[in-house]
Amino acid sequence: MHEIQKKLLNLAQEMNLGQMTLREVGGLIGETSPQKIKHHLSQLEKRGLIRVDRIKGIVRKTEQEQVGGLLNKSKLLSIPIFGSANAGPAEIFADQDVSGFLRISSKLLEPEVMSHKLFAIKVQGPSMNRTDVKGKTIEDGDFIIVDSDDREPEDNAVVLSLIDSMANVKRLHLDTANQQIILASESTQDFPPIVIHEDDDYSINGRVVQVIKKFKV
């Protein structure tokens, strides 16, 4: 979660932010931009972490039972889409610009990741079409939801990583005995694994927590 969102969430637990201007709220957490405050309050609302009643002027932190109620009724989330990533050879460059927002139901995500920083990537390539994530495979044209707060996932996790600034989706295997990191494909086709050293230009951008299948007519 963004640092500003953490501060706003703590503040919303102590007081009703709906009775203050954005500038006043920012002053309490050391942020001078009202637009940043508006953006991060909106993100907290979309994740169901704060309750906003614009008629009554109420902006407060959502209590645990209220979170459950929101999830039971479902809530549409807006998850930013950051370009695409390869589920084949690592050839597609990572795109840091938001290309749009994926609107999905909160019921499609596990409750424990709802407060994390999530983003979506469109998959290109067939190298993960036998992978199982929540009972779904990762096929060309699908969207994956990535938990960017989980940058040190356990062995055998499906991850989005960057190799030489190029994004790819693979199964992570930590071969500590041989000081290797294996990024393996799981496909109906034959794709060799990517083998890297821990000192290579490599980073994990997050763990894949859900697959949004492309619509097939």
User: Could you give the C-alpha distances from 181 to 125, 131, 146, 192, in angstroms and in order?
Assistant: 22, 19, 20, 14
Q: What is the pLDDT of residues 91-149, one digit of tens each?
A: 555 555 667 788 888 889 888 888 888 889 999 889 899 999 999 999 999 999 999 88
Q: What is the pLDDT of residues 37-70, one digit of tens each?
A: 888 888 887 776 777 776 666 667 665 433 333 4
User: What does the pLDDT read at residue 157?
Assistant: 94
Nearest to 84 by CA among 73, 70, 74, 99: 99
| DSSP assigned state of 113 | G
What is the spatial distance between Cα 42 and Cα 40, in angstroms, rounded to a whole number? Answer: 5
Q: Is the pLDDT of residue 90 over 60?
A: no
Name the token pair of 185.
């494909």
Average pLDDT over residues 173-192: 90
Q: What is the mean pLDDT of the chain?
A: 82
| DSSP assigned state of 112 | G
What is the spatial distance between Cα 46 and Cα 86, in angstroms, rounded to a whole number? Answer: 29
pTM: 0.62
User: Could you give the C-alpha distances from 96 to 61, 74, 83, 121, 176, in angstroms and in order?
Assistant: 30, 29, 7, 11, 31
pLDDT confidence tier of residue 176, bands split at 50, 70 and 90: confident
pLDDT confidence tier of residue 217, bands split at 50, 70 and 90: low
Lowest-pLDDT range of 2-16, 39-53, 59-73, 190-204: 59-73
Domains along the chain with CATH numbers? 3-73 (1.10.10), 76-212 (2.10.109.10)
User: What does the pLDDT read at residue 46?
Assistant: 75
Lowest-pLDDT range of 7-21, 87-101, 110-124, 150-164: 87-101
Q: Is the pLDDT of residue 211 over 60?
A: yes
Q: Which residue has the tokens 């405050």?
A: 37
Residue 182 contacts by C-beta under 8 Å, 6 or more apart in sequence?
172, 173, 174, 175, 193, 194, 195
User: What does the pLDDT read at residue 209?
Assistant: 95
Q: Which residue has the tokens 């932190």?
A: 61
User: What does the pLDDT read at residue 195?
Assistant: 92
Task: Taking the CA atoms of 7, 9, 11 and 13 in sequence, report the sign of the dihedral they define.
Answer: negative
Element (H, E) at 138: none
What is the spatial distance between Cα 153 and Cα 134, in angstroms, rounded to a whole number? Answer: 16
User: What does the pLDDT read at residue 89?
Assistant: 58
